[in-house]
């Protein structure tokens, strides 16, 4: 016995024999409360005996007969494992014909000549002793019928030889088991093995059925080439008749095995320990089952209960012991024994009669943390006798917990099935029995559940791209989450391409092996959530392979191929290309395209082409690399199938006709010796065709033709094998020459000051001597009628396509004299010009004055000087001057308008307000109307009296008393500034805006609050704000604005464009300034004079 242990150690390493310790052992544990006993333990020594000596005769067997080689291993403990090998320690091959039985014998359903050998050796392996025993080799010799006849012929005379029968087929015969029926008994829970081995030629096939039922699913297996039926974990339901059927071509045989499943005892209800307090009642139940049904016997403290000390509180009733009004002396250990012929069960149960006040085993103030909306289990493990009653309270002075909201378990645990935030707090468990009371407090905290608010999403990414999975979580602030990423439920690959961020997983340079399911797992100490998304890596498909040509015909062939890997993006189509190694080696051309579900195509072929084909797979990502080329296939020659395309007849000179065509490609020639037959005849003049055969070129020139006459032209292909089909005819023309006649009856209709319409009579088509392309109108300005001065003549050209007889001339200058002529145009060039036609444009509105300058400002007057418009566009009739004052609040005063004769160039405005800013608007007029205006601003000077007052103040400033006064004022201002600064820091407001307006810098413009632009008092043209830096220069001049006039394109070319009907697209007009606003408008900051006046 080991010290302080119940373990018994048997050691025979230092001597002694194992057989001396063979027997049945049982352990008994005892104290003052009773005795417990163990199951019987059987000790037997292992044995591996040697094979008994025996004389083995050789086995002589006729080919086709059955044979059994017996092993008969020695009986060992535990039984040995049997296998057959040869002298080279190689396992003998087994099959449906040759196999080993459950008893270790080797069965031959029929022998064959190759079964002849002298080293059939049976081995027995004893695992416990780690030894292998070998039987003597067995010899087998198989005689064929031919060799048997030779042997008989050598020993008998010719008259004694009888005809030996050849190997005959035989119907099945069972080698094991014998007879038609047998029985088998197996214990419940064990493995049932049933065996059928049959002889016969051909080798029989074995099949198993259960009569009146089905073989149990998931527990049935077939071994040894279906010769062994194996059913695991058998039960009583597996009892019945099992039939094995051996069948070959000549018949069948069967055997029925009647299986009975017996059972060693097994527990239905094992006795359990019982704790009772004095005076209580209780029962011990011991129920077992088996086949046959086991008998139940009781022991008390290891002694049969019949001879154990009597206890008046105990009564035995079969498999139950009933206790009534127990006392402390009733404590004992009871054993229940359930036995039948196949085994027994033994269980100990301690009946403890105890008087104990309650004890709570759960630690005090234990903290429980659970997630909201999940169950909360608060433990209150207790002990006491009699069994204490458990009550639960919430809070210090809470009432007892009851109701459906709670579940009270027998072990004292309080369950809150769906815990909410309001369930958090202190809970008190109270245990009481008649011997006392005890309580314990536990704490419950409810945490917010962890959630994945942004889950990873399914992604499709191209190979070598970048992909990112998001996993944004929300969790209880007191819990520390950990985020783990898995790929296909395993750890992420150890690869620097995988970047795990705070709330995402990024995979760089994605490859095919990254395809799979990615899972984001968020764990806290209380809960765990996960979300998964699939990543599909797509790429262009792999190229097709294994191209094969079949069905070769003169004009068609079948091409088949095997598609490559689609790379997770289905192939939508296959593109087939071909190479003509005969005419264009190395050049691959498109042949056809087939759907992605198709892997064959019938291809049309042309004669005299050495074809090779390749296939390109296409999916949504792109095109694969081309496949390897197919084998070459050369088609036979034939006459051409088609003629040249795009045949034309166009003269390059007035006396020739150039016939051109698009030559056939090499594979279109259909054979060697490609040439062209070129034919022509003058339309409606010649009846016969003139023909010439030329080499493989693309044009032929016919000389000596009349100028621009129609010809019928055709070009036919031919080669060494013949002509192509008859070609179609096309109409061409010989060369053009310049037109001979100018357009006549040219008329001009002036529409307005900038637009005129010109008419002409068409030129006869015969005099055009070519394809009429249109008419060109040349026009130019001769002089301006207002200035009578000539300038450099710049001719403008408008082209009118087709057989037009009129056109519009846009962009003309008003009040000017123009000339024009018209010419007809063909493919060769322009014809002669028509006589020049003179026309004049009426007056228009003038441009703005060239400048407006304001000089000599006084207290009440300003002098205005201006320049006449650069483009008067007529006879000036007058000028209009408008002006209005601007006050200190940037408001515009009333508008005054003055008419000025056209011959004036200056004006003195009197009776103006001193120190006042004015805005002026100035434009010129003709009889048609007013032109665009020019604007300017100016300021009258300040009052002289106030200026002298200011000078006197300067003189006073030299006095000492004045200097002292100013110092006092400065000190007061400094104090005021400090107070304002303090108030501003405390959030106070100071009205500085008004003073800033009163003393504004004259060079600073007010800003609009909404867009930050300068405050606007604008001219009537565009109301644009006056911007800093754009004031009138020191000489008070304003440069003339550039004219907005533009030449709207009517005809083709650089100068204009017309619609097909010659109508004008658009309109020509100068921009006119709007009239100045009469209302109040914002203005710029006060002038320096105003600022000085405010200060004084």
Tell whether the torsion through CA atoms of 417, 420, 424 and 428 is positive or negative.
Answer: negative
Q: Which range (909-923, 929-943, 1038-1052) has the least confidence?
A: 1038-1052
Q: Which residues neighbour 56 within 8 Å (Cβ) at sequence distance 6 or greater? A: 136, 137, 138, 139
Provide the Cα torsion 299, 302, 304, 307; round to 10°: -120
The length of the chain in residues reads 1096
Three-point CA angle 384, 390, 391, nearest 5°: 150
Is the CB of residue 535 less than 8 Å from the CB of residue 514?
A: yes
Per-residue confidence at 789, pLDDT binned at 50, 70, 90? low
Q: Name the residue among 688, 689, 690, 674 with its Cα closest to residue 724.
A: 674
Give the mean model confidence (pLDDT) for residues 58-78. Answer: 90
Is the CB of residue 877 less than 8 Å from the CB of residue 927?
A: yes
Question: What six digits make up the tokens of 371?
Answer: 């997630």
Q: Name the residue among 985, 1000, 1044, 842 with its Cα closest to residue 927.
A: 842
Is the CB of residue 577 less than 8 Å from the CB of residue 589?
A: yes
Residue 945 has pLDDT above 60, yes or no: no
Number of H helices and number of E strands within the chain? 6, 78
The pLDDT > 90 percentage for the chain reads: 65
Distance between CA atoms of residues 830 and 318, nearest Å: 136
Tens digit of each residue's pLDDT (9 = 90 or more) over 251-277: 999 999 999 999 999 999 999 999 888
Give the mean model confidence (pLDDT) for residues 729-740. Answer: 93
Distance between CA atoms of residues 558 and 576, nearest Å: 12
pLDDT for position 1071: 37
Question: What six digits make up the tokens of 90?
Answer: 């190689």
Distance between CA atoms of residues 791 and 780, nearest Å: 11
pLDDT for position 385: 85
- pTM for this prediction: 0.45
Per-residue confidence at 785, pLDDT binned at 50, 70, 90? confident
Residue 65 has pLDDT above 70, yes or no: yes
Question: What six digits make up the tokens of 280?
Answer: 């209580």
Give the mean model confidence (pLDDT) for residues 694-713. Answer: 93
pLDDT for position 525: 93
Give the mean model confidence (pLDDT) for residues 574-596. Answer: 94
Tens digit of each residue's pLDDT (9 = 90 or more) over 422-434: 999 999 999 999 8
Q: Which range (255-264, 284-293, 831-840, 1041-1050) has the least confidence?
A: 1041-1050
Distance between CA atoms of residues 221 and 407, nearest Å: 48
Residue 160 has pLDDT above 80, yes or no: no
Average pLDDT of the chain is: 85
Per-residue confidence at 150, pLDDT binned at 50, 70, 90? low
Tell me how far CA of residue 586 lies from CA of 589, 630, 766, 914, 1095, in angstroms. 10, 14, 54, 95, 94
- CA 237 remoteness from chain centre: 55
Distance between CA atoms of residues 189 and 238, nearest Å: 11
Tell whether the torsion through CA atoms of 738, 742, 743 and 747 is positive or negative.
Answer: positive
Distance between CA atoms of residues 532 and 487, nearest Å: 9
pLDDT for position 921: 93
pLDDT for position 10: 84
Cis peptide before 202 (omega within 30 of 0): yes
Per-residue confidence at 1094, pLDDT binned at 50, 70, 90? very low
Tell me whether strands 228-231 and 220-223 are parallel, antiparallel or unpaired: antiparallel
Which residue has tokens 């791209």? 465
Tens digit of each residue's pLDDT (9 = 90 or more) over 629-671: 999 999 999 999 999 999 999 999 999 999 999 999 887 889 9
Residue 1070 has pLDDT above 60, yes or no: no
The pLDDT > 70 percentage for the chain reads: 86
Which residue has tokens 């027998």? 410
Give the mean model confidence (pLDDT) for residues 575-583. Answer: 93
pLDDT for position 441: 92
Give the mean model confidence (pLDDT) for residues 153-172. Answer: 60
* Helix (H/G/I), strand (E/B), else coil: 979: helix
Is the CB of residue 244 less than 8 Å from the CB of residue 206?
A: yes
Is the CB of residue 345 less than 8 Å from the CB of residue 267?
A: yes
Which residue has tokens 């049933």? 194
Is the CB of residue 497 less than 8 Å from the CB of residue 483?
A: no
Other CB atoms within 10 A of residue 72 CB: 14
Other CB atoms within 10 A of residue 298 CB: 22
Residue 1057 has pLDDT above 60, yes or no: no
Give the mean model confidence (pLDDT) for residues 184-189. Answer: 94
* Helix (H/G/I), strand (E/B), else coil: 963: helix
Is the CB of residue 43 less than 8 Å from the CB of residue 10?
A: yes
Distance between CA atoms of residues 567 and 579, nearest Å: 28
Per-residue confidence at 495, pLDDT binned at 50, 70, 90? very high
Residue 166 has pLDDT above 80, yes or no: no
Per-residue confidence at 6, pLDDT binned at 50, 70, 90? confident
How would DSSP label each residue in 30-67?
A: EETTEEEEPPPEEE---B-PPPPP-PPPPEEEETT--E
Residue 1030 has pLDDT above 50, yes or no: no
Distance between CA atoms of residues 232 and 236, nearest Å: 13
Distance between CA atoms of residues 817 and 830, nearest Å: 26
pLDDT for position 986: 58
């Amino acid at each position: 016995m080991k010290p302080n242990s119940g373990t018994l150690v048997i050691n025979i390493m230092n001597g002694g024999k194992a057989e001396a310790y063979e027997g049945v052992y049982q352990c008994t544990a005892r104290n003052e409360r009773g005795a417990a006993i163990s199951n019987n333990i059987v000790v037997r020594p292992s044995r591996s005996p040697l094979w008994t000596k025996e004389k083995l005769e050789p086995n002589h067997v006729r080919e086709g007969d059955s044979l059994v080689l017996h092993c008969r291993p020695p009986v060992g403990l535990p039984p040995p494992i049997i296998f057959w090998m040869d002298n080279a320690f190689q396992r003998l091959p087994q099959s449906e014909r040759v196999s080993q039985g459950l008893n270790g014998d080797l069965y031959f359903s029929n022998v064959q000549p190759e079964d002849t050998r002298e080293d059939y050796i049976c081995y027995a392996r004893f695992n416990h002793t780690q030894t292998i025993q070998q039987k003597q080799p067995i010899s087998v010799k198989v005689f064929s019928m031919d060799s048997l006849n030779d042997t008989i012929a050598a020993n008998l005379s010719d008259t004694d030889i009888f005809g030996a029968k050849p190997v005959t087929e035989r119907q099945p015969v069972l080698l094991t088991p014998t007879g038609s029926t047998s029985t088998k008994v197996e214990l419940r829970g064990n493995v049932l093995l049933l065996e059928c081995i049959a002889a016969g030629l051909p080798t029989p096939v074995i099949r198993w059925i259960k009569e009146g039922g089905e073989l149990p699913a998931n527990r049935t297996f077939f071994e040894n080439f279906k010769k062994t039926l194996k059913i695991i974990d058998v039960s009583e339901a597996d009892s019945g008749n099992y039939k094995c059927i051996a069948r070959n071509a000549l018949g069948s045989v069967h055997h029925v095995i009647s299986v009975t499943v017996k059972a060693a005892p097994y527990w239905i209800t094992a006795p359990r320990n019982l704790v009772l307090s004095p005076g209580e009642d209780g029962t011990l139940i011991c129920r077992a089952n088996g086949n046959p049904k086991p008998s139940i016997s009781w022991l008390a403290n290891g002694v049969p209960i019949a001879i154990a000390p009597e206890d008046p509180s105990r009564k035995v009733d079969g498999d139950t012991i009933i206790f009534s009004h127990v006392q402390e002396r009733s404590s004992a250990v009871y054993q229940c024994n359930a036995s039948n012929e196949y085994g027994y069960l033994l269980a100990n149960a301690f009946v403890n009669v105890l008087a104990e006040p309650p004890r709570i085993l759960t630690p005090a103030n234990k903290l429980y943390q659970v997630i909201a909306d999940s169950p909360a289990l608060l433990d209150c493990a207790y002990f006491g006798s009699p069994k204490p009653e458990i009550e639960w309270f919430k809070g210090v002075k809470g009432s007892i917990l009851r109701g459906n909201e709670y579940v009270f378990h027998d072990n004292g645990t309080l369950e809150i099935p769906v815990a909410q935030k309001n369930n958090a707090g202190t809970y008190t468990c109270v245990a009481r029995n008649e011997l006392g009371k005890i309580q314990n407090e536990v704490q419950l905290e409810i945490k917010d559940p962890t959630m994945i608010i942004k889950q990873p999403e399914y992604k499709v990414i191209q190979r070598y791209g970048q992909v990112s999975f998001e996993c944004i979580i929300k969790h209880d602030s007191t819990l520390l989450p950990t985020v783990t990423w898995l790929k296909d439920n395993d750890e992420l690959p150890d690869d620097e391409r995988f970047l795990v961020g705070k709330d995402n997983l990024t995979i760089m340079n994605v490859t095919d092996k990254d395809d799979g399911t990615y899972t984001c797992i968020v764990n806290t100490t209380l809960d765990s959530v996960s979300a998964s998304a699939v990543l599909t890596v797509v790429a262009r498909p792999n190229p097709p392979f294994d191209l094969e040509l079949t069905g070769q015909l003169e004009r068609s062939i079948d091409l088949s191929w095997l598609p490559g890997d689609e790379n997770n993006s289905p192939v939508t189509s296959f593109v087939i290309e071909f190479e003509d190694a005969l005419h264009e080696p190395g050049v691959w051309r498109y042949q056809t395209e087939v759907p992605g579900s198709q892997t064959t195509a019938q291809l049309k072929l042309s004669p005299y082409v050495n074809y090779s084909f390749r296939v390109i797979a296409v999916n949504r990502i792109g095109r694969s690399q081309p496949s390897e080329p197919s084998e070459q296939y050369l088609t036979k020659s034939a006459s051409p199938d088609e003629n040249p395309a795009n045949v034309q007849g166009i003269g390059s000179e007035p006396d020739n006709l150039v016939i051109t065509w698009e030559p056939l490609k090499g594979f279109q020639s259909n054979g060697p010796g490609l040439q062209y037959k070129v034919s022509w005849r003058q339309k409606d003049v010649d009846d016969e065709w003139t023909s010439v055969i030329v080499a493989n070129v693309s044009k032929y020139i016919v000389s000596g033709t009349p100028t621009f006459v129609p010809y019928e032209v055709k070009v036919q292909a031919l080669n060494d094998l013949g002509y192509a089909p008859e070609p179609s005819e096309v109409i061409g023309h010989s060369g053009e020459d310049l037109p001979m006649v100018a357009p006549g009856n040219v008329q001009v209709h002036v529409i307005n000051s900038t637009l005129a319409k010109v008419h002409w009579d068409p030129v006869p088509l015969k005099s055009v001597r070519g394809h009429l392309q249109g008419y060109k109108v040349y026009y130019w300005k001769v002089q301006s009628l207002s200035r009578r001065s000539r300038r450099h003549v710049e001719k403008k050209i408008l082209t009118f396509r087709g057989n037009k007889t009129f056109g519009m001339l846009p962009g003309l200058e008003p009040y000017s004299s123009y000339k024009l002529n018209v010419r007809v145009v063909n493919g060769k060039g322009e014809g002669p010009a028509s006589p020049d036609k003179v026309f004049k444009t009426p007056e228009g509105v003038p441009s703005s004055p060239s400048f407006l300058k304001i000089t000599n400002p006084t207290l009440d007057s300003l002098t205005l000087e201006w320049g006449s418009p650069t483009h008067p566009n007529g006879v000036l009739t007058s000028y209009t001057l408008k002006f209005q004052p601007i006050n200190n609040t940037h408001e515009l005063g009333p508008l005054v308008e003055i008419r000025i004769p056209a011959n004036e160039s200056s004006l003195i405005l009197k009776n103006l307000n001193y120190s006042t800013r004015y805005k002026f608007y100035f434009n010129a007029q003709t009889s048609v109307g007013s032109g665009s205006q020019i604007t300017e601003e100016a300021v009258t000077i300040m009052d002289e009296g106030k200026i002298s007052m200011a000078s006197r103040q300067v003189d006073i400033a030299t006095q000492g008393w004045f200097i002292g006064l100013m110092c006092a004022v400065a000190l007061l201002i400094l104090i005021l500034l400090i107070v304002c600064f303090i108030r501003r820091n405390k959030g106070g407001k100071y009205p500085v805006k008004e003073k800033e307006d009163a003393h504004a810098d004259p060079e600073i413009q007010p800003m609009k609050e909404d867009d930050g632009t300068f405050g606007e008092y604008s001219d009537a043209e565009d109301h644009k704000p006056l911007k800093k830096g754009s004031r009138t220069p020191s000489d008070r001049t304003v440069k003339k604005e550039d004219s907005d006039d533009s030449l709207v394109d009517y005809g083709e070319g650089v100068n204009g464009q017309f619609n097909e009907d010659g109508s004008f697209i658009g309109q020509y007009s100068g921009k006119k300034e709007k009239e100045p606003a009469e209302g109040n408008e914002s203005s710029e900051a006060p002038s320096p004079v105003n600022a000085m006046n405010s200060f004084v």
